[in-house]
Structure 1
Amino acid sequence: MKAYLRNQVAALFILMPVASAMLVLPGTVMAQPAAELRSLQVTSDDGLRAGAELEFTVEGTPRGQAQLRIPGVPRNIVLKETERGEYTGRYTIRRQDRISPTNPIRATLKVRNRTVASNYSFPAGMANAQAGAPVPPAPALKIERFTVAPIDRIEPGAELRFSLNGMPGGTAEFDIPGVVEHVPMREVRPGVYEGAYTLRRLDNLTPSRPAVATLRVGDRSVKTTLSQPLTADAKPPVIRNISPRDGEAIVDRTAISVSGTFDDAGGVGVDPKSVRILLSGRNVTADSEITAQFFTYRAVMQTGRYTVDVSARDLAGNAVRKTWGFDVVIPVGAAPTTVPLQVTSHANNAVVDGRTTLVRGRTAPGAVVDVQVTAVAALAGLFGVTQDVLTEKVQADANGDFSFSIAPQLPLPGARYEVTLVSHKANLKAETRLVLFQKQG
């Protein structure tokens, strides 16, 4: 009888569902409920366009943690349980999001130590609306303004403070060509970026190569060049070292060089595009060599009186103009009034390297030539520090040839060497000038 009853109880337990909790044997552990995802609903107020708000509702096992992952959205969307077993959340589509209606929405639900995940699709109506709707173009990325707070003088220790106005939420930086690159600018207000740089002693700041700003937003970037001068420059440049000198009489049938140098010490430098050269009223600008430091025009000229008219502006708009005259003469049977004097090894305004430079010339045989060389060093891109490099007398040989060497004492890129030569023989003398520039960088 006891054996029969045991068999009947065992049969009854075997027929009960495993999930039922109506019979629990002493010492056994209740099974944890499995996490379950039942549905996902998606609504939108403007399809899948930028700025549209998506609302999600997930139904599943209560008391869990739910979140969604959408390809093209950089972060997971966390849902909150607003009612038992119902989880809701919202997300506003950003312009940089790349949501495709064909990509699945990955829903994940974690209940205690159980996790379940399932893929869902966007509603067909939402996908069709997105596919057929024109995508509005992204707003043009541009820099509205790039400025600098002008300083009194460009010199070591001076601080250049730059400001940029453009699209907010980006990253900005500026470069000063030949000086520094990738200086970051901080966004101090929405769309306003600021950055600064302090000039060092050996910075070779060239006013003709202005600062450049870069603004990046997402995968797009835009650049602009500074259009204003770095200094509050109200002083015009000066034209120096003109050749031929004013009133000089040239006895020569070969090509004559009309030249001069620009000196804008303390300013922003001469704009080469503003230079105009007139020779006896004829515009020879296009046939001249012009830089921010000098100008040179060479031509064979007939006997006669010539006038030179040179005008220019610096980058701050300050104007300079210089006029002078000279004569080309070919005396016949007249006694010479000067000794010949010519530099043969370097053209005026030539560029030399930083090593010792040998200068050759020709004058009357046995004449004594007084040589004086002055160096004007480039400091922070401007000419300002002057030093005597050489003062000596050299004597021409029987053929009239002479030479001397310039050993730079200021080996700085951009330094200018002004050479004055005066040849003496008997009671006659002649004078000429030569300007050389040390190679940049």
Structure 2
Amino acid sequence: MKPGSDLRATLAALLIALVAPCSLMLTPPAQAQQREVGAYPAITGFNVDEVRQLAPGVELSFDLWGTPGGMATLRIDGATRNLHLTEVEPGQYSGIYTIGAHDRIVPSSAVSANLRVGNRVATAMLAESLQRGPERRRGDLAAAPKVERFDVRAIDDLGPGNDLSFTVLGTPGAKVEVTIAGTRGIFFLPEVRPGEYRGTYRIRSADRIAPDSMVTATIRHDGRYASVNLGRPLLVARATSAPRVARYCSNCATVAAVNVIEVSGDGGYLGTIGGAVVGGLIGSSVGGGTGRTAATAAGAVGGALAGNNIERNSRRHLRYEVVVRYDNGATQTLQYENDPGFRVGDPVKVNGGVLVRD
């Protein structure tokens, strides 16, 4: 082998050794490859404000709803350029296309939207015309689309991340959009079967949805539309206990008063006779002659009275009266030989003349 060939071979080997590490560095790491395998972005709504005519200088306003943090672009058949939409709110992209003199846009021009997040792209086609339909005569009102039913599967939590599922039954082959008070933008219900539209709205952290927030469904078809409001709450009704029915209690009462009564027994003949004997003995010892006789009689009478009082005092004792007031306002008094232990205000019941605590 010639010396020049050896030199060239050496330089080639050196060049390969220098390039090999660089090629290894360009290989995406496992973490980057894992990110590329993530879920595809989603487009949940695509809308245009229809105009009366498509002429140079007319502005077409587009709105797109979908995965936040992406890049949204539109292509209109017959347009000379694409439209880039700006993310005005998380997940809401808006933009205006001004028709130019060289554009050849017609009402039926197809409009496609691409939403790119990372290396993934979601595509959606505009389901409505760019131009409003011609004015209809009164006899054509029957051709307007109709909403026969608008329903929601209520949930028990209106917090972020929860899903509200809506169903609309109406004119087939139409476009159905839903707006919820407390949220920004609209979203669309795809037609899953002829005349049946279903879709799910995932609540965002910025939403302020209340159980009674107004929800409106609009169905569009052939340049005409009809709207209807949801007639039920978004939140599942919580079970409430049945109201308590007041029951009348005929023997329920309240202690209105507790009276203590001192009772003295009447004197008996034993006390009277015993008192008279003692009084006569004392009287007979006073004076003499006729005076002694008078004193004896007076002592007997006084002794009889004293004996009666002594016996009455010996029979003195306390009794208790408890006055109760019933719920209907009536009162009743119950008597006790000893303190029954009730106090004013105690709830009680009267069972067969016996007072018990309630």
Common fold, TM-score beyond 0.5?
no
Q: TM-score, normalised by structure 1?
A: 0.24
Greater Rg by CA: 2
Q: Which has the higher helix share?
A: 2
